[in-house]
Chain A
């Protein structure tokens, strides 16, 4: 997978659990788990905005591009 989601890293830094983040962002725990494992197909800007607001971070802190080659 070329785009890695470092959601668990940011959650650990902010000492926030998946349940708390789910309530703040308005996304189900299942969807956040999928996002965390980088198994999602796409992420909406609205979701990204809500996550950045909840974790007080930048999109670059959550999303990372890794060259497979």
Chain B
């Protein structure tokens, strides 16, 4: 079931590639996940109680993710390509606006889109927000990194499920929703 879900996620990833200027895939995490599944199957045959060990391990990891989810210092943990337990989508867009103005507009757009803004660092151009739990996912962490070169600001968007091998399209929806709210906010 996990493998089929991840295949669907792969297909959704490739489907969304035309909607973004640049998008990074999770190929390495998929390879690691497949190896992980193979290891589980082999270990279960060799040592049947392994399944209980695995269930406890997953529960511990889930509780850990839940505890640190709202802490911006764990950004690397949630966005790492080696972390197969968090499904992520990355996009990159360019806007013809200065970084300081875009920071405020993105913060406004995040709030309007229903996300909760947890951390804003104007100096480094970082924004961190979280989404609420839904039927499809436990919730996502949204990370925005803004860099300005010659009046054009590049926004690196990353939406990562805090726990889940697949987001069922939620990561993609988060990106589209944020973009839509940002476009709407340009009507003054």
Contact = CB atoms under 8 A, between A and B. Distances in A.
Interface string B74-113: 0000000000000000000000110001001100100000
Which of A32, A37, A39, A47 has its CB near the most chain B CB atoms (within 10 A)? A39
Interface stretch (B14-22, B59-67, B141-149, B180-188): B180-188
Q: Report the contact-size class of chain B (Cβ under 8 Å from the partner).
A: 10 to 19
B101 to A, nearest CB: 6
A43 B96 CA distance: 18
Interface in A5-44: 27-28, 30-35, 37, 39-44
Q: Report the contact-size class of chain A (Cβ under 8 Å from the partner).
A: 10 to 19
B101 A40 contact: no
Interface of B: 96-97, 101, 104-105, 108, 183, 186-188
27 contacts: A28-B104, A30-B101, A30-B104, A30-B105, A30-B108, A31-B188, A32-B188, A33-B101, A34-B97, A34-B101, A34-B105, A34-B188, A37-B97, A39-B96, A39-B97, A39-B186, A40-B186, A40-B187, A40-B188, A41-B183, A41-B187, A42-B186, A42-B187, A43-B188, A44-B187, A44-B188, A47-B188
